[in-house]
Amino acid sequence: MLGMELCNLFPDAIKLKHSDVDIRERESVMESIEINRPEIVINAAAYTAVDDCEDNQEIAYEVNGISPGYIAEGCSCVGAKLVHYSSDYVFDGSKKEYIESDIPGPINVYGKSKLMGERNIIDRMDDYRIIRTSWLFGLHGKNFVDTMLRLSVQMDTVRVVNDQFGKPTYTSDLARKTEEIIDLAPGIFHITNDGVCSWYEFASAIIDNASPCSSEEFIRKAKRPKYSVLVNTRTGQMRHWRDALAEYLNNRKKMM
């Protein structure tokens, strides 16, 4: 989802897919950066299947944790800026909201692997922009909105947890915000659409037959934080998630 939006936003950029470079292979990463000598590297590669990460921990730590360090090392060698995306799941959910300087404490493998990636970047370079975001939806990939629309047709009622809170984020908005952040001072950024909701409230804005339930009633393999609300203290706010959702649903219809 995000990678395609970035490709559309930066049409003249060199675009590398997994078939071009495996970020898990240090020499491949270093060679690619050395050959292309970019001014900016944007890493939109990640293993984002939260529950699957519990069963595939080695891959999760390789892709999300170790590989960003290779990219940072390559960027440092050629003097390139690095933009990297992290997650609200680096936090444990014990607070109702988190600013950029709050101390992380992930409670699942996905969050732990993403935090490892952050730290490996920070250890290897100074000119980085780590963008923590949450609850992504958008064109070109699987997401919660599409899942709700599919299940709504298949089921009389769709059970959705009402005790986990965060901020939905439209990939198109996130990509445009990335362009702005590139020119800001290095550091960690919390970038989401505005507005806090539960997964149930988010679902209810998408379908008419959502039914609330607790996390205890809807057991998932990976534990989720109760609160993963990211607060942006470093840049201007983005539009409300409801406005972004309306645009996404309209664009989705045009593509069908």
- The tens digit of pLDDT for each residue in 142-178 reads 899 999 999 999 999 999 999 999 999 999 999 999 9
Q: 70: Cβ–Cβ under 8 A, 6 or more apart, which residues?
A: 23, 25, 26, 29, 30
Helices (H) and strands (E) in the chain, counts: 10, 10
Region 227-254: mean pLDDT is 96
Q: What are 162's two structure tokens? A: 């009402």
Residue 120 has pLDDT above 80, yes or no: yes
Taking the C-alpha atoms of residue 200 and residue 204, their distance in angstroms, rounded to an integer, is 6
Give the per-residue pLDDT at 196.
98
Taking the C-alpha atoms of residue 217 and residue 126, their distance in angstroms, rounded to an integer, is 44
- The tens digit of pLDDT for each residue in 171-218 reads 999 999 999 999 999 999 999 999 999 999 999 999 999 999 999 999
Residue whose C-alpha is closest to residue 135's, from 178, 173, 105: 173
- The tens digit of pLDDT for each residue in 2-41 reads 999 999 999 999 999 999 999 999 999 999 999 999 999 9
Q: Which of the four CATH numbers 3.40.50.1970, 2.40.30.170, 3.30.465.10, 3.40.50.720 does domain 2-142+166-196+225-239 have?
A: 3.40.50.720
Residue 256 has pLDDT above 80, yes or no: no
Taking the C-alpha atoms of residue 29 and residue 21, their distance in angstroms, rounded to an integer, is 7
Q: 2: Cβ–Cβ under 8 A, 6 or more apart, which residues?
A: 44, 85, 136, 138, 171, 174, 175
Taking the C-alpha atoms of residue 36 and residue 57, their distance in angstroms, rounded to an integer, is 31
Region 220-243: mean pLDDT is 97
**What confidence tier does 254 reach under pLDDT thresholds 50, 70, 90?**
confident
- The tens digit of pLDDT for each residue in 68-107 reads 999 999 999 999 999 999 999 999 999 999 999 999 999 9
User: How do the domains of the chain map onto residue ranges?
Assistant: 2-142+166-196+225-239
Question: Secondary structure of the chain: what % helix, strand, coil (to 5)?
Answer: 45, 15, 40
Q: What are phi and psi of 150, to 5 degrees?
A: -70, -50
On whether the CB atoms of residues 206 and 148 are closer than 8 A, the answer is yes
Residue 255, helix vs strand vs coil? helix
Give the per-residue pLDDT at 255.
83
By annotation, the residues acting in catalysis are 110
Place of tokens 């089921």: 155
For 119, the enclosing helix (H) or strand (E) is: helix 109-124
